[in-house]
Structure 1
């Protein structure tokens, strides 16, 4: 029996690898306190995140390696986004600390539980997580360029927390980690 090997060297995987390689430069921009450089580098990471998924789906270049690279790049970008916000906008973060603590806790919980249960981070690529990435990216981008708008911030918090709860439910209920799932509803419908 022959096994078909997937081609791991493709444009979406290269874009995910770029996002990982960009992380030290984002850290450097935060350490310098350079908001302009931070938002520029972070925006490039967010745009390449959109592109890698779009290209992978459009040209059917989705691979297991790509899902893992994308998830790792997402985690790194997510951590850098909040590290930049916490470091560069300390007063704002202090004022809304309870919202940020809730958001970060609900994001970290499925990550650590997946590491404990399965030995790796989840790479579900749920629709809710994709939407959350866009919503959070828009929040961070507009916050640094145009300032704070509380209604959008509250919407971002609620939507993000619901998406993280969906991921948590999957980590707790799936017998093994699977990549590229659409939604918890599809997973449970397939079980019936």
Structure 2
């Protein structure tokens, strides 16, 4: 099999894995509404698993693309949204007890999204290190809740803290980056002064 064909197959397979999260979201919501909690929790766990593997696979097989980055961002948001709605359906008392924190996060997300639409006319796909960390702690919290494991409240506050910081970072990135970019590591890497290439001829003359 030639390299081009392998690359095309890898591209479609990896984007298909990402697409699963997006396509499955409404079906997962339907399962939650119908009270199929066992099916819901295992399939949402599978969605989080696909989120964990599609990024490393795309880097390993070098099939990163703007389309893939945007698809991944939308699929991630859909998974978190359906997880939150599932939490509201199955554990409504938890939502009521922490609604102020949750509302604050949704407000930050709304500000970030509106700012991106104004600046770039599309949502961001920064995929910062903080965003990847937030995705992990969010997944841990939701799985703890849906599988009725302990430490859910502690995981909730950790997830909210990391997510809040991540959203603030992305709001700042939207403000300071004039053009849409994918796979931005974070503010530190944007602000870090770039080392100027050394002019070998000049370097030799200065010795």
TM-score (normalised: structure 2): 0.83
Matched residue, 1:19: 21
Q: SS at 1:121's partner residue?
A: coil
Give the alignment partner of residue 134 of structure 1, picking from 129, 133, 136: 136
* Residue 123 (1) aligns with residue 112 (2): no
1:190 CA drift (Å): 5.5
1:14 CA drift (Å): 1.3
TM-score (normalised: structure 1): 0.90
Aligned length: 187
Does the 8 Å CA contact 1:11/1:52 hold for their aligned counterparts?
no
Distance 1:182 1:159 in 2: 15
Q: SS at 1:10's partner residue?
A: helix
1:10 CA drift (Å): 3.0
Does the 8 Å CA contact 2:134/2:166 hold for their aligned counterparts?
yes
Distance 1:125 1:135 in 2: 15
Structure 1: where are the runs of 5+ without partners?
A: 1-5
User: How do 1:1-192 residues align onto structure 2 when only pairs under 5 Å count?
Assistant: 9-145=11-147, 146-147=149-150, 149-189=152-192
Structure 2: where are the runs of 5+ without partners?
A: 1-6, 196-207
Q: Deviations over 1:139-159 (max 9, x none)?
A: 100112115533222222111
Distance 2:157 2:21 in 1: 28
Larger deviation, residues 142-151 vs 22-31: 142-151
Distance 1:181 1:138 in 2: 24
